[in-house]
Amino acid sequence: MMNIDAFMRCAATVITATIVLALAACSQFEPRDKRFYYRALWNFSLRDDLAELDSEFNGVDFGHSNLYEHLLLTGGNDVSAIEDKARQETLAFIATKPRLNPNEEAIAPTYMKLAWRAQNTFDEAHALHRATYDIVVSAEPDKDRAIRTVLAYYQDSAYAITSKRLDHRRLDQFAYSKAFRTRFPLFNATIWSYHYLQVAVYDPLQSARDLAAKTQAVRPILATYRHYLDQPPVAWTFMPLTAELSPIFAARYPELANIFDNLHMLHDNISDILTSERLPTWEAKRAEIYRVLNTYYLASADETNPMILGKSQEHHHE
C-alpha cells in the first residue's frame, strides 16, 4: 500500500506533467488585446447618412473572412469551393445590403484561431478606414484635425501597419506569391474590386460640398464596383493603389494612403500563403503569416524593414 509520502510525490509529478502539457497546448493561443475604436461625435456618420456605401463596406468585411476560412479548410486547392461556393456566398451576402458589420470571428473561426494577431491587424486598419469615411461624411467642422487625430490614435497601437511606402513589387515576389490570383482569378479580381471601392471614394467624398452632393458623387463609383462584381476585372495585373484613384487624398494624407495600400498588399500576401502548397501545414502557414507581418508590415519594424521605399522609387510598374 502506497504511503503518504509516495502518494504526495506521485501527485506532484502528475500535477507538474499536467501543467507542462497545458502550457504546451496553450503555446499557440494568443491574448485578445483588442482596442476599442476612437470614440467621437462623428462615429457611424457613414452608416447614418450614406447607408448605400456603408452596406457595401460591410459586404467587403464578410468577403475577406469568408475567403480565408474556405482557403484554410480546403487547403487552397479546391477551385470550385473558392470560385463557386465561397465567392457566390460573398456575392449573396453583399446583395442583402447588410446594415451592420458582420461578426468576422463567427464567419472565420478557424482562421481566427490560426492567426488572430494578423486578423486584429486587419481589424484596426479597417477601423481606420471607417473612421476616415465617417469624418468626411459627417458635419465635423475641422475634418483635417479629426483625421489626423484618428491617425495618431491608430499609430499608437502595437498593431499599426507602417505608414511608410513599401515595395509592393518585392512583396509580390516571394516563392508562393501570385498563387491565389493564378488559381482563383475570379475571387482575386473580386477582392481587388473591393479595394478599388475602398480607395476610389475618398476624392469624390472630400470634394463634394454637402451630403446630397456626396451621395451623388459616389454613385458612379458604386455602379463601377457592382459591374466589377458581375464581371470581375481578371485582366488587372496588380491591386488598385490609393494615389491612382484618389490622388488628392493621397497627396494630403500620404501616411493614410500608404497604410491602406500596405493593408491591401498584406491581404494579398496572406491569400497566397493560405493557397500555396509550398506551405503544406497550418503550422507552416501560421509561421509565414507572422514572419511577413512582423518583418515587413508592422510599424514597429520600420527601423529594420528592408521593403521601405525611398522617395524616388515606385510601388510597382504595370
pLDDT tens, residue by residue, 74-130: 999 999 999 999 999 999 999 999 998 888 989 999 999 999 999 999 999 999 999
Residue 312 within any structural domain of the chain? no
Residue 7 within any structural domain of the chain? no
Residue 24 within any structural domain of the chain? no
- Give the cell for residue 56: 457595401
3-state secondary structure of 308: strand
Helix (H) or strand (E) holding 195: helix 185-200
Could you tell me the pLDDT band of residue 3, with boundaries at 50, 70 and 90? low
CB 261 within 8 A of CB 307: no
Helix (H) or strand (E) holding 304: none
The pLDDT of residue 27: 44
Q: Which amino acid is located at 109 in the chain? A: P
pLDDT tens, residue by residue, 14-61: 444 443 333 333 346 677 788 898 999 999 999 999 999 999 999 888
Classify the phi-psi angles of 40: left when phi > 0, otherwise alpha if psi is within -120 to 50, otherwise beta: beta
Count the domains in the chain. Answer: 1
- Give the cell for residue 246: 484618389
Least confident range from 26-40, 103-117, 145-159, 290-304: namely 26-40
Residue 92 within any structural domain of the chain? yes
On average, the pLDDT of the chain sits at 90
Distance between CA atoms of residues 182 and 108, nearest Å: 23
Higher pLDDT, 15 or 257: 257
Residue 132 within any structural domain of the chain? yes
Residue 55 within any structural domain of the chain? yes
Residue 217 within any structural domain of the chain? yes
Residue 279 within any structural domain of the chain? yes
Lookup result for grid cell 469568408:
66
Lookup result for grid cell 487625430:
149
This prediction has a pTM of 0.89
Q: Which domain holds residue 266?
A: 31-301
Integer angstrom CA distances of residue 55 from 95, 96, 132: 9, 9, 16
pLDDT tens, residue by residue, 202-241: 999 999 999 999 999 999 999 999 999 999 999 999 999 9
What phi, psi does 298 have (nearest 5°)? -70, 140
Nearest of 163, 258, 240, 238 to residue 198 by alpha carbon: 240
CB 263 within 8 A of CB 165: no
CB 196 within 8 A of CB 245: yes
The pLDDT of residue 296: 98
